[in-house]
Chain A
């Protein structure tokens, strides 16, 4: 059983479109995250939710909107896609909102904007 799953794995779309990436974790964790990994492999936190409440919102354009319908899901919706949004997006989860709590990562969604 996959602990943290993301769909789709690959997403190719044109500039200006709106797309969503879904994330689900079956670990019973309270905290979920979205990271962006750029072409140089730098990994940066975008959002974090704890018990469905937004607790971290880094300097991310308003075109990105996370939604957590329940503790097991954290989806990422992106409006008006731009070329610079091309990256690999990782979802992760941890047992709780604590620095000692190991993060479990999903396999990533490779987004290509043309």
Chain B
């Protein structure tokens, strides 16, 4: 069965600084990978996804993620963080015949002015 680890529970950055959120997965073959964002009091919104092809994936809100098979990682990046990016970020991995991804425990992003 697949699993996903988000090693950082909280990340604090200053507004305008760059951001990288870590995600590691466990699965024998090529998984399909997602990043979701959950703003306070809201449901999850898909930022981007990777199924195959180019390992650098562009998403909404200026986010991108890179799939690195050798490291079993799918880290989320943004070059310049805005205060409105403060939210909970979830990495998810799906595999095989399962159409339901397994979610990580989330990373809470705090943005200082």
Which A residues have a C-beta under 8 Å from some C-beta of B?
Answer: 4, 33, 40-45, 48, 56, 90, 92, 97-108
Judge whether A40 and B105 touch: CB under 8 Å: yes
A92's contact among B32, B43, B98, by CB below 8 Å, is which? B43
Judge whether B100 and A45 touch: CB under 8 Å: yes
> Bound state CA distance, A69 and B105, in angstroms?
32
> Bound state CA distance, A90 and B105, in angstroms?
15
With contacts A41-B105, A99-B51 known, what are 15 further pairs, Cβ within 8 A?
A4-B43, A41-B88, A43-B90, A45-B100, A48-B100, A92-B44, A97-B99, A99-B32, A102-B49, A104-B43, A105-B43, A105-B44, A107-B41, A107-B42, A108-B41
Chain B, interface size: which category? 10 to 19
> Bound state CA distance, A103 and B35, in angstroms?
12
> Bound state CA distance, A98 and B90, in angstroms?
20
Total number of residue pairs linking A and B with CB closer than 8 Å = 44
> What are the interface flags for B26-54 relative to A under an 8 Å C-beta threshold, 1 for contact and 0 otherwise?
00000010000000011111100101000
> Bound state CA distance, A40 and B103, in angstroms?
12
Kindly list chain A residues whose C-beta atoms are within 8 Å of the C-beta of B98: 99
Which B residues have a C-beta under 8 Å from some C-beta of A?
Answer: 32, 41-46, 49, 51, 88, 90, 94, 98-100, 103, 105-106
Which among B51, B88, B90, B103 has the highest number of chain A CB atoms within 10 Å?
B103
A42 in contact with B43 given A97-B99, A99-B94, A100-B51 (CB within 8 Å): no
> Bound state CA distance, A102 and B103, in angstroms?
15
Judge whether A56 and B100 touch: CB under 8 Å: yes
Judge whether A42 and B105 touch: CB under 8 Å: yes
Kindly list chain B residues whose C-beta atoms are within 8 Å of the C-beta of A44: 103
